[in-house]
Structure 1
C-alpha cells in the first residue's frame, strides 16, 4: 500500500527532525553500547506502533506547530520491523505535524538477505533513504565484529538498496585489530565504488560495558596504537577526497548536496523530537531549550507510554552556557564549522580571541572569509581538546 505523508511547502525556517528508536536486534554486537536489546519471543509490533503513535502525539502537543524536514528510524535494527509498522509510524508523524514536501526519511538496516527483501516494502511505506550497517567488507573482520552477515551478503544488500532507493549510505568501522593502512585503503576504495553518495566511517572505539571492553582490558583484543590510528584516519581523508566523497563531518563523507539532512539537524544545534525507548530530543517550548530523554528499557517504556502518553524520564531546561557548549561541541564536528556570533548569542559572551589566535597558530582551527570558525584536518584528530580549549 502506497504511503503518503501529509506534506506542506518547503520550510523557510530552521530544520526540524523526528528520531524514532526501534530498540531490538537479532544479536548484540560486542563493540556496541547503543540502547539495543535481544528478545527471543516475537515482538508485538502492533502494540509498539500504537505506543509510538501516542508518544508522537504527546510530543507534537508539547512542541507545537513544526514542519518536519527529516525523519530517522534508528536502533537497534529498524529493518526488523514489518513495512506496515514503519508505515504506521510515518502516518502518525504526518497526522501530528506538517511535513516538508522534500522530507528525508531514513531507515537503518542490517544487510542480511531476509531484511533486504523488505526494502521495496519500506519504499512503499514512505522511506526514501536507507543506511546500511555493513561495517566491513571482509568476512574475518565481520566475524570479529560479531556481525551476522558476510561481505557478499552486504554487497548484495547494497545492490538491492541501489535499486530500491535514490539515496542510500552504508557504515564501515576501521582501526580494527590487525588492520594496516594499505588494507584499509583497498577496502575503502572498494566501498567508494559501491557508494552512490554517502559513507559513514567510524574508528573502532572500546566502550565500557561491552564484551570488547573486557577483552581489551585482558589483552585479548589489540587495537591500533595512536600513531597507527592517526595513519588510518589520514588514509580515510585522502582516499575519500580523491573519490569525490570529502568529509562534511568528522566521521561522515558525502558528495556535495548528499549530506544526511537529519544528522545535520543535530550538528547544527536545531530542534528534534525523540520517540521510542531511550530516544533523546531537543525541543524549544515554554521559552526554553529542553533536553529530553526516554526510558531505555523497551517494556518499561511501553508501559509508561500506555499509562501517561510518553516515556520521558528526563526533561532538563538547558541554561545559556549549556546550550552554547552543546552548540560548540556539535558544530565543530562539521567541516563547515560554526558562526561565532551564534555562540555569543547563546552564551552571552564571545569566544576568547586569544585562545582562537593560539589554536590558529597551532594549525588546529581556521577562520574563513565569512568569519566562520572551523577545525582543520590537522585539528580533527584532537577535536575534543580543541572544543575544551575554546569553551574554557
Structure 2
C-alpha cells in the first residue's frame, strides 16, 4: 500500500511513556535457534566469570549519560534487562548498575524492573541479591520441561532445574514470567500439553509462548531439525490457548498470556508504540520529540561496544529520524500484536500523523476480514491475529 507523506509532518501534542532497555550480551552457551545478539562467554577472559562485569557496567552508565539530554525531564516507567543471560551478572554488579541508573534518571517509584534469567544460572542467594537491588520481575527462559526437547534446543538446564528455578524465583520476586516454546524437534501434541500443564502448576502470573521458527543466520537455519507439521502446530496452539484460558490467563498479545493486571508493562509500552532508551551492545532505542521520532542502534559486539564508549564517548552505528512514510507501518507492526488493539486516535497521538495516511489500508484489511470493523479501534480479528504477517504487510509502504 503506497503512502503519500509529502504533505504530512510529525506533530506530537504529547510525548509517549518512556522505558529503558539494557542489553547484556553474554550467555553460557549459544542456542542453535537463537538470533539475538548474544555471545558465548570464554572462561579466563576478563574475570573468572568470562566477562569483565565492572568494565561493561561502566560502559552502560556512560551510554545512559549520552541519552540524558534527549530525555531530560521525562519519567522512566519501566526497565527491562535482556540478553543474553543477564542473571550471569553478580548481585553486587546488579546493585551497582541500578543504583547508578536511579541517580541519573527520573524513575517512577513503583517502576517495573524486569531481568531475564536462564534456569541454569539460578541461585537462591543470587536471586535474593537481585531482589534487594531492585529487580521486581523475572523472566525465566524455560522453553520446555522435558529433557529430550531441552537437549534438542541446546539448553544448558534440564527439566528438574527448570522447576527448581521457578520455585526460587517465586520466593523472591513480585512477578514471574515463564518463556515456553512449542513446535519443538520431536515434540508431540501430548508433549506440548504436558509442558503447559507443568507450567500452570506453578501458577505464575505471566506466561509467554513462542512457536519455534528457524531464523536466518542460526545453526537451525543451516541444519534444520524435523519439526511438527502445520496441522500439528495449529492443534498445539489451540490446545495451549484452551488450557490457559481455563486457568484464568488472558492472551493479551500474540505470544503473551497474563492473569488480570499482571501484563508486562515494559512490553506493552513497545506494542503501544511508546518510547524507550536502549543501552548496551546492539541495543536499539526510539525517542520521540514534538516534531520527529528518532531511532538509534549501538555496536553489536561487546568488545567493540566497550571500546567505542571508552575512546569515542558513544557506540552508535546508526542514529536517524524515522521517515514519515515509515511511521504508519512501524506503528501497525507493533499495535496489531495486541489482542485488544488500541484506540484509533492512538495512531495520531503516537505518530503525530493524520489517520488518513492509513485509511486505504484500514479499508483493505477490514474488507479482507483481518481488521475489526469498529472505527474506534485498531484491532485484528481472530483471523487477523492468526495471519498477522498478512495483516501487517497491508500497511507496508
| TM-score, length basis structure 1 | 0.90
Return 14-23 or 151-160, whichever deviates more.
Answer: 14-23
Post-superposition Cα deviations, 1:292-330, rounded to whole Å, max 9, x if no partner, equal: 110000000001111233211111101222222111100
* Structure 1 unaligned blocks of 5 or more: 1-11
Matched, 1:252 2:260: no
Q: Report what 2:6 is aligned to.
A: none
Residue 314 of structure 2 aligns to a residue whose secondary structure is coil
Residue 167 of structure 2 corresponds to 159
In structure 2, the residue matched to 1:374 is: 379
What secondary structure sits across from 2:356 in the alignment?
A: coil
The Cα of 1:195 is off from its aligned counterpart by 3.5
Task: Indicate the residue corresponding to 1:7 in structure 2.
Answer: none
Structure 2 counterparts to residues 204-353 of structure 1, below 5 A:
204-216=212-224, 221-285=225-289, 287-343=291-347, 346=351, 347-350=353-356
1:62 and 2:70 are equivalent in the alignment: yes
Residue 344 of structure 1, CA deviation: 5.0
The alpha-carbon deviation at position 352 of structure 1 amounts to: 5.8
Partner of 2:390: 385
Does the C-alpha gap of structure 1 residues 155 and 69 become closer, same or farther in structure 2, counting only changes over 3 Å?
A: same
Question: How many residue pairs were aligned?
Answer: 376
What is the rounded CA distance, in whole Å, between the counterparts of 1:379 and 1:127 in structure 2? 36
Which residue does the alignment assign to 1:168? 176
Q: 1:234 Cα deviation (Å)?
A: 1.8
Q: Does 2:104 match 1:88?
A: no
Q: Confirm or deny: 8 A CA contact 1:320 1:348 kept in the other structure.
A: no
What is the alpha-carbon distance in structure 2 between the residues aligned to residue 372 and residue 349 of structure 1? Answer: 12
Deviates more, 1:80-89 or 1:250-259: 80-89
1:143 alignment partner in structure 2: 151
Identify the residue that residue 56 of structure 2 maps to in structure 1: 48
**How far, CA to CA, are the matches of 2:100 and 2:373 in structure 1?**
43
Cα offset, 1:380, TM superposition: 1.4
Assess, with a 3 A threshold, how the Cα gap between structure 1 residues 71 and 352 changes in structure 2: closer, same or farther. closer
Query: Could you say what the CA RMSD is over the residues aligned between the two structures, in angstroms?
Result: 2.0
Q: Residue deviations 1:253-306, cap 9 Å, x none?
A: 001110010111111111100010000000124832111110000000001111
Q: How far does residue 61 in structure 1 lie from its aligned partner after superposition? A: 2.3
Partners of 1:18 and 1:152 in 2: how far apart?
33
- Give 1:342 deviation, angstroms: 3.3
Q: Among residues 14, 17, 25, which one is paired with 1:15 in the alignment?
A: 17
Contact 1:63–1:284, Cα closer than 8 Å, also in 2? no
Task: Provide TM-score, normalisation by structure 2.
Answer: 0.89
> Whole-Å Cα distance in 1 between the matches of residues 52 and 368 of structure 2?
56
In the other structure, the counterpart of 2:10 is none
- CA 1:185 to 1:307, structure 2 compared with 1: closer, same or farther past 3 Å? same
Higher relative contact order (CA 8 A, sep 6+): 2
1: CA distance, partners of 2:365 / 2:72: 41
Identify the residue that residue 370 of structure 2 maps to in structure 1. 364
Q: Is the 8 A contact 1:19 1:273 kept in 2?
A: yes
Give the Å deviation of 1:123. 0.4
